[in-house]
A and B are shown apart, each in its own frame.
Chain A
């Protein structure tokens, strides 16, 4: 049988970090092929390779072969990919808000008529043939069973419509042979998603080969003919969809990765009798990570993990409590009401937050290591200051002393405390962030994505330090992370957030299947319906 698309033995590494290992995948014409995996499993990289994205070639290209209809092809730009009949519906909308639906669909593939000017100056000067474009746009829209006015401006349309317009644009390409859908249902309601699945089936029946990427496992299971599971850049399984069950997919997707972090015993185990913070119906308006209704009790002295898929709101929780994004809801700290939307209040109460956006929020990139460590403490508590004349000014000597202490304690590799943070490696920057947080004497320490973008050795150091803070200083830690493995390595309990709500609180020893299902927000359903 001839495949519409075949990718063979794809290898790709970013800066020495191998993200795809011998990945092979093949899709037949008219087949819907589901591709699932955790964040960072390599799905997006694989699709970027297929689409010839510049990010691949600017980082040294890849190894392996791509065949389209049995012919080996070299795809080195998105344009090439389109010429080969590959279409892609992106996770983020690539639509121009101020243009009409029709203009967006026909963008760069406009139908034109020649005129006097174009005879002289060539094709770019040809007149647009609006009636013809309108007709084709309308056809594309009705193909996917939508009834959107093709002359409406995209900006005001609901997200679901935008998603469908993206698809309509791909369908409108006459030579479309392979269509990649990257999380097309993420922003859709269930009914809309159902409609989209119908469109996918319809397209498949027309002979288009479809690669369907989604975190909603039940959808993948429903619509796919075949499913490939990626984990850590390796294909763990690839079988016809009928031979999988939901929990089987979830289990294979998550897998178990071991990190050797020693967890010393505590003198007193945290329990539900001693709650340090209770969160009730928290809503956080953080774009892309919205929290819709989150409640949890945090036990004193525990390490609580918050996990979940990207975009489901796990990052919003800590941001909301720390006052970085507008939040509402009831939060109690040690039984007393806790004021939201006030970062200064939070810090004064001993609620310290370390942002997932290390370079954007967590650091003053052009300031020295020592200033990064102490600035917040000076600002909030007036630490490291002395009286001078009639003013309270900060004291370089105290700052230097403290900075040297922290540098030694955390093994921050820098030339001197006066070195600029921008020049440090990711791991050392993260250590500076941790030193800053520790300087604030936290009662509860919210830390988000502490190991993102740092190498393996530094990862372990960071996790070890968090455990040390917890065990030796009794600091309650709430760690948000996309890496389930690290949550499982150090947390006492792991809360999984799905669609902005608490989906489940699991023990780190819970099975992979449970985690997978909880992330998809389907754990309760499975427990109820078997």
Chain B
């Protein structure tokens, strides 16, 4: 019994509340005629789809600059990588990996600039990051029209100039990860490749934080003066963390896009940030501490909640309450974490 209580004590209160809510939804689902296997496979697909984006929060939280609210910056890099791969006409896994490769390169470049900017606004990274996200999305909205992409699948059919809002990936690398080693049990579908990729990314990040560089990031985040006295260069550690977060965001959006089957440009990157931030916070992270467990738990709980809430609640209540709930949960979660921060600092 003590063990159970000890375990309960370690769980974050919001995680617990949302988890209980989730169970309630499942119970509710059992009474309605929603197919639970398809709900489960949907949830699992969405966990793998969003996981890497949530993972992008880890480096910046651990270096002490809070969740990466400038997620769109990295996402733009990822989108560019994917676009280049499409322009080259690459398909299947080749297309996917080339997209990742370009995304990583571009994200490192952008990340260095973004990190330089954040270093100049010490202590206000979260706010500046949010504005940076908005700015870069606005800027890229112009660029999408001007960049010299020529592939007819990508540009507007009329006029022949400018990228479309949504690009179909079916002919390129859509669903490559999802379909890799995929298996079915009745109505339940398991996207093995997608989850393997997410697991691999988690493992790599976990390993990275056990290296000297990763430890340096941890030290800076926990006590900058201790870090300095241990011979760490805090500016460099912060830069590395920001670049890493950017790269993960870039890779994350490609994974997301291939699973979704579409590449979304223009305003779309803006709507990725808050759910990602909320996910990791629901997983028990604070804006000062986060680990891989927070990422996995948080993504699982948050995405399952969204998947199940739609069909179940739409049967119980009238109208679409999911979108409202998503906003309440994600924004409420962020608000909660921010109010909690000063006490921990």
Complex Cα gap A360–B222 (Å):
11
Task: With both chains docked as a complex, state the minimum distance between the C-beta of A414 and any C-beta of chain B, in angstroms.
Answer: 19
Residues of A with C-beta under 8 A to B215: 375, 378-379, 394
Is there an interface contact between B212 and A364, defined as CB atoms closer than 8 Å? no
Complex Cα gap A338–B168 (Å):
62
Query: Which of B41-49, B229-237, B304-312 lies at the binding interface?
Result: B229-237
Complex Cα gap A3–B289 (Å):
59
Is there an interface contact between A362 and B231, defined as CB atoms closer than 8 Å? no
In chain A between 298 and 327, which residues have their CB closer than 8 angstroms to a CB of chain B?
322-324
B226 within 8 A of A: yes
Residues of B with C-beta under 8 A to A392: 211-212
Bitwise, A324-366 to B at CB < 8 A (1) or not (0) is 1000000000000000000111111000010101001111111
Complex Cα gap A345–B231 (Å):
7
In-complex Cβ contact of B229 among A322, A345, A389, A394 (8 A): A322
A367 within 8 A of B: yes
Is there an interface contact between A379 and B222, defined as CB atoms closer than 8 Å? no
Residues of B with C-beta under 8 A to A365: 222-223
- State the main secondary structure of chain A at its contact with B: mixed
Complex Cα gap A80–B233 (Å):
50
Contacts A389-B207, A391-B211 known; A344 to B231 CB distance under 8 Å?
Answer: yes
| Max count, chain B CB within 10 A of own CB: residue among A348, A391, A392 | A391
Residues of A with C-beta under 8 A to B222: 364-367
Is there an interface contact between A391 and B207, defined as CB atoms closer than 8 Å? yes
Task: With both chains docked as a complex, state the minimum distance between the C-beta of A353 and any C-beta of chain B, in angstroms.
Answer: 7
Is there an interface contact between B216 and A360, defined as CB atoms closer than 8 Å? no
Complex Cα gap A404–B289 (Å):
26
Complex Cα gap A392–B213 (Å):
10
Closest to B231 in A: A344
Is there an interface contact between A347 and B226, defined as CB atoms closer than 8 Å? no
In chain B between 203 and 218, which residues have their CB closer than 8 angstroms to a CB of chain A?
207-208, 210-212, 215-216
A388 within 8 A of B: yes
In chain B between 184 and 234, which residues have their CB closer than 8 angstroms to a CB of chain A?
207-208, 210-212, 215-216, 219, 222-223, 225-226, 228-233
A151 within 8 A of B: no
Complex Cα gap A376–B225 (Å):
12
Residues of A with C-beta under 8 A to B228: 323-324, 343
Complex Cα gap A382–B230 (Å):
12
Contacts A379-B215, A388-B207, A391-B207 known; A363 to B231 CB distance under 8 Å?
Answer: no
Complex Cα gap A392–B216 (Å):
14
In-complex Cβ contact of B223 among A363, A385, A394 (8 A): A363
Complex Cα gap A394–B228 (Å):
20
Task: With both chains docked as a complex, state the minimum distance between the C-beta of B62 and any C-beta of chain A, in angstroms.
Answer: 12
Residues of A with C-beta under 8 A to B233: 344
Is there an interface contact between A364 and B226, defined as CB atoms closer than 8 Å? yes
Residues of B with C-beta under 8 A to A348: 231
Closest to A348 in B: B231
Residues of B with C-beta under 8 A to A55: none
Is there an interface contact between A379 and B207, defined as CB atoms closer than 8 Å? no
Contacts A391-B207, A391-B211, A392-B212 known; A375 to B229 CB distance under 8 Å?
Answer: no
Complex Cα gap A323–B227 (Å):
12
A187 within 8 A of B: no
| Max count, chain B CB within 10 A of own CB: residue among A346, A360, A375, A378 | A375
In-complex Cβ contact of B231 among A347, A357, A366, A389 (8 A): A347
Complex Cα gap A329–B231 (Å):
21
Complex Cα gap A241–B215 (Å):
60
A380 within 8 A of B: yes
Task: With both chains docked as a complex, state the minimum distance between the C-beta of B274 and any C-beta of chain A, in angstroms.
Answer: 27
Is there an interface contact between B212 and A324, defined as CB atoms closer than 8 Å? no
Complex Cα gap A347–B227 (Å):
12
Contacts A344-B231, A375-B219, A380-B231 known; A362 to B226 CB distance under 8 Å?
Answer: yes
Residues of A with C-beta under 8 A to B210: 391, 393-394
Complex Cα gap A393–B211 (Å):
4
Bitwise, A387-399 to B at CB < 8 A (1) or not (0) is 0110111100000
Residues of A with C-beta under 8 A to B231: 343-348, 376, 379-380
Residues of A with C-beta under 8 A to B232: 344, 379
Task: With both chains docked as a complex, state the minimum distance between the C-beta of B157 and any C-beta of chain A, in angstroms.
Answer: 46
Is there an interface contact between B212 and A379, defined as CB atoms closer than 8 Å? yes
Enumerate chain A interface residues (CB-CB to B < 8 A): 322-324, 343-348, 353, 355, 357, 360-367, 375-376, 378-380, 382, 385, 388-389, 391-394
Known: A345-B231, A379-B231, A394-B210. 14 other contacts (CB 8 A): A324-B228, A343-B229, A353-B229, A355-B225, A375-B215, A375-B226, A376-B229, A379-B212, A379-B215, A379-B216, A379-B219, A391-B211, A392-B212, A394-B215
22 pairs, CB–CB < 8 Å, chain A vs chain B: A322-B229, A324-B225, A324-B228, A343-B230, A344-B233, A346-B231, A348-B231, A357-B225, A361-B225, A363-B226, A366-B222, A366-B289, A367-B222, A375-B215, A378-B212, A378-B215, A379-B230, A379-B231, A379-B232, A380-B230, A388-B207, A394-B210
Shortest 3 CB-CB distances between A and B: which pairs? A344-B231, A393-B210, A376-B230
